[in-house]
Structure 1
Amino acid sequence: MTRINLDAVIKYVLSKQGSDGGYLSFQYLDMFESSAEDTYYALSILETLGVEPPRRDRAVEFLRHLQHEDGTYSSVEVAFYSIMALSLLGASPRDPRGASEYLMKALASNMNGDYILPSFEAEQLIDESGVLKSKDATFTLTSADLTPVPIRTSMIVLALHKLGGLDGEAEEKAYPLLKDALSNGGLGTPVSLEVAYWALEALSTVDHLPETSNLVKWIYACENIDGGFSSTPGSKTAFIENLYYALRSLEILGSRPKYVSSHLEYVTSLQNANGGFRRSRELGASALDYTFHAVKSLVLLESL
């Protein structure tokens, strides 16, 4: 069994719930609205650890209001995380049909290269109560901040599947983009573990994995003998998310990591005094996404 302090993990996660019912890693006097992404991470951690999330109704209300009245969302990312978080709460979007239509439109735009960009700039920076909003509502993104197309495509597929709206048409549109992501446009290997993970997660949902023996070898080439995985072979970027991406990818592919004990020691070394986890041995601030990846990695390592 791992030596992490589970009680401290739970306390850390619960401390990140805001007055709106959602969660945010970095709050200051509750001035920032919660984010769909952090809310998903927090709820997933609590579910994994068998903890009933507090103020469930407020969390559902917060997540449902991230969907616009016309059924759309400010971005594919917000749609994905809010839909997945609502599912953890046993709830659905306020307009499931509108959500599915928005996601299908986004998928079609990915195919055509005419992407639906986040509409944060249309929102107001300060709400009517004088509260500064989070990136889910108002943060203006540059092209460098946009999620890569294969990952956005995977988010669309997974969200549609959760909504029960993933049909043959959606699979036909998504499959070439997802398969191509595993070979980086025909170059033979993925551009990163992150892209490989998202593509595999979506492809496993549609139950249509391509031939992947070379991919398994590539993932093993990212494994570090002293714990963790690098984003690409030889890159030495042993961030906690890369460990999760690799472990989950190997699980989908029916394989196991080589250095289990080293990975367990690596994860254990990342827990901070406040109960949360940091991104690497060198980077010190706790965050909900790092904590999510740490907890989920321990599950995949069969130590939790």
Structure 2
Amino acid sequence: MDMDNDQKLWARAQNYVLSRQSADGGFCFYRVWGVEESTAPDTYYAVAVLRFWGMAIPHRAELVRWLHSLQDDQGRYSSLTNASFGVRALSLLAAAPLRDPRPHVLNWAAQAAGRKKAANSETLRDWQRCIQLQRLLAPDEPLPEIMRSGAEAILHGMEAVAGGFGSHPNLIDSGIAWALQRLLGQPHRPQDRIFLHDCEDATLGLRLSPDGASTRLEAIFWGILQMVHLHIAPQYPEAVMAYVRACQPVNGGFGRRAGAIATLEGTFHAVMIAAGLSRNPLLQMLTGISTSEDVLH
């Protein structure tokens, strides 16, 4: 019965994702509210889960054209976010940017390194996206020193001595930091394995933090992803899937937590959590945070 229910769960999710494609070929989770405004993150999330399900990407030619339109004549993107998600979506479509975005990415790193802002969650996420993008665009080249030093600095500023990352260590900041460490080829710290286990919970599957009483799909996603990398079997996989199911409203997508509105990001997290629990080899390719030596078993 659970298997039948989960087949219906994913069938509803597939219909949800397909319903969020805009006229220009991109995707937008709020388009049903009368707004045709494709976004690079939503488009990446939609393409990734459709690829995972082995489904054809509708209006592929229009979609690639829309993704190409995110660059200007000099190859720049309006933001690092658009660069990261736009290039990653193109990669999943076996396409490439029209112009090399690496000078734009290097310029972002140089500016970010010069700002010397206090370490925070947003800056950590930006550096992870920057290094991920550089690795995707130039997998066989060494990282520019300014990128490596900037990424190492943010990791140092966010690490907690007792384990985990964040001003208040939590699974989201920690998961992003662990992904960044892998992209840099750094070993994981033994205390982070303990932190990860301390987040496990018989009711929620994985808590946001060891001393917390709540969670969200993004936290579970990053925790499961790290468990896959470390070849750790989660203690409470049934609780994880029960939480995932509780996050699906009637429209078929998934919200960040039970009762939240569905988004393409939440749906991506739900699908990737299930992929991690089943050790599906597509997980590494679709999340794009592993090095060439980092093989999923």
Pairwise TM-score range, normalised by the shorter structure: 0.7 to 0.9
**Alignment partner of 1:168 out of 110, 121, 143:** 143
How far apart, CA to CA, are the structure 2 residues paired with 1:181 and 1:55? 44
The one-letter code of the counterpart of 1:159 is: L
The one-letter code of the counterpart of 1:103 is: V
1:287 matches 2:263: yes
- TM superposition shift of 1:210: 3.0
- TM superposition shift of 1:211: 4.1
Aligned residues: 269
In structure 2, what is the equivalent of residue 126 of structure 1? none
Task: Indicate if the aligned counterparts of 1:222 and 1:229 stay in contact, CA closer than 8 A.
Answer: yes
Question: How has the CA–CA distance of structure 1 residues 237 and 67 changed in structure 2, closer, same or farther, with 3 Å as cutoff?
Answer: farther
Aligned pairs (5 A) from 1:55-134:
55-96=59-100, 99-113=101-115
How far apart, CA to CA, are the structure 2 residues paired with 1:95 and 1:241? 32
How far apart, CA to CA, are the structure 1 residues paired with 2:229 and 2:157? 16
Task: Indicate if the aligned counterparts of 2:200 and 2:207 stay in contact, CA closer than 8 A.
Answer: yes
Question: How has the CA–CA distance of structure 1 residues 68 and 216 changed in structure 2, closer, same or farther, with 3 Å as cutoff?
Answer: same
How far apart, CA to CA, are the structure 2 residues paired with 1:7 and 1:189? 36
Question: How has the CA–CA distance of structure 1 residues 82 and 49 changed in structure 2, closer, same or farther, with 3 Å as cutoff?
Answer: same
Task: Indicate if the aligned counterparts of 2:164 and 2:171 stay in contact, CA closer than 8 A.
Answer: no
Question: How has the CA–CA distance of structure 1 residues 272 and 303 changed in structure 2, closer, same or farther, with 3 Å as cutoff?
Answer: farther
Aligned pairs (5 A) from 1:136-215:
148-164=122-138, 167-170=142-145, 172-177=148-153, 179-180=155-156, 183-184=159-160, 189-191=164-166, 192-206=170-184, 208-215=185-192
The one-letter code of the counterpart of 2:173 is: V
Cα-to-partner distance string for 1:1-36 (whole Å, 9 max, x where unaligned) = 753222211111000000010000011465331000
Cα-to-partner distance string for 1:84-125 (whole Å, 9 max, x where unaligned) = 1111111111112xx11111111222222268xxxxxxxxxx
The one-letter code of the counterpart of 2:127 is: T
In structure 2, what is the equivalent of residue 243 of structure 1? 220
Task: Indicate if the aligned counterparts of 1:107 and 1:173 stay in contact, CA closer than 8 A.
Answer: no
In structure 1, what is the equivalent of residue 22 of structure 2? 18
Percent identity between the two aligned chains? 24
How far apart, CA to CA, are the structure 1 residues paired with 2:144 and 2:203? 45
The one-letter code of the counterpart of 1:16 is: R
In structure 1, what is the equivalent of residue 276 of structure 2? 300
In structure 2, what is the equivalent of residue 36 of structure 1? 40
- TM superposition shift of 1:229: 2.3
How far apart, CA to CA, are the structure 2 residues paired with 1:23 and 1:12? 11
How far apart, CA to CA, are the structure 1 residues paired with 2:12 and 2:190? 40
Question: How has the CA–CA distance of structure 1 residues 256 and 107 changed in structure 2, closer, same or farther, with 3 Å as cutoff?
Answer: farther
Cα-to-partner distance string for 1:203-227 (whole Å, 9 max, x where unaligned) = 2233x22342101111222222112
How far apart, CA to CA, are the structure 2 residues paired with 1:87 and 1:159? 11
Q: TM-score, normalised by structure 2?
A: 0.83
Task: Indicate if the aligned counterparts of 2:247 and 2:255 stay in contact, CA closer than 8 A.
Answer: yes
Q: Counterpart of 1:148 in 2: which secondary structure? A: helix
- TM superposition shift of 1:271: 2.1
Task: Indicate if the aligned counterparts of 1:153 and 1:177 stay in contact, CA closer than 8 A.
Answer: no
Question: How has the CA–CA distance of structure 1 residues 176 and 114 changed in structure 2, closer, same or farther, with 3 Å as cutoff?
Answer: closer
**Alignment partner of 2:58 out of 54, 61, 65:** 54
CA RMSD of aligned residues (A): 2.3
Q: Counterpart of 1:266 in 2: which secondary structure? A: helix
Task: Indicate if the aligned counterparts of 1:196 and 1:249 stay in contact, CA closer than 8 A.
Answer: no
How far apart, CA to CA, are the structure 2 residues paired with 1:176 and 1:30? 43
Consecutive unaligned residues in structure 1, runs of 5 or more: 116-145
Cα-to-partner distance string for 1:37-66 (whole Å, 9 max, x where unaligned) = 000000001011111110011111111111
Q: Counterpart of 1:16 in 2: which secondary structure? A: coil
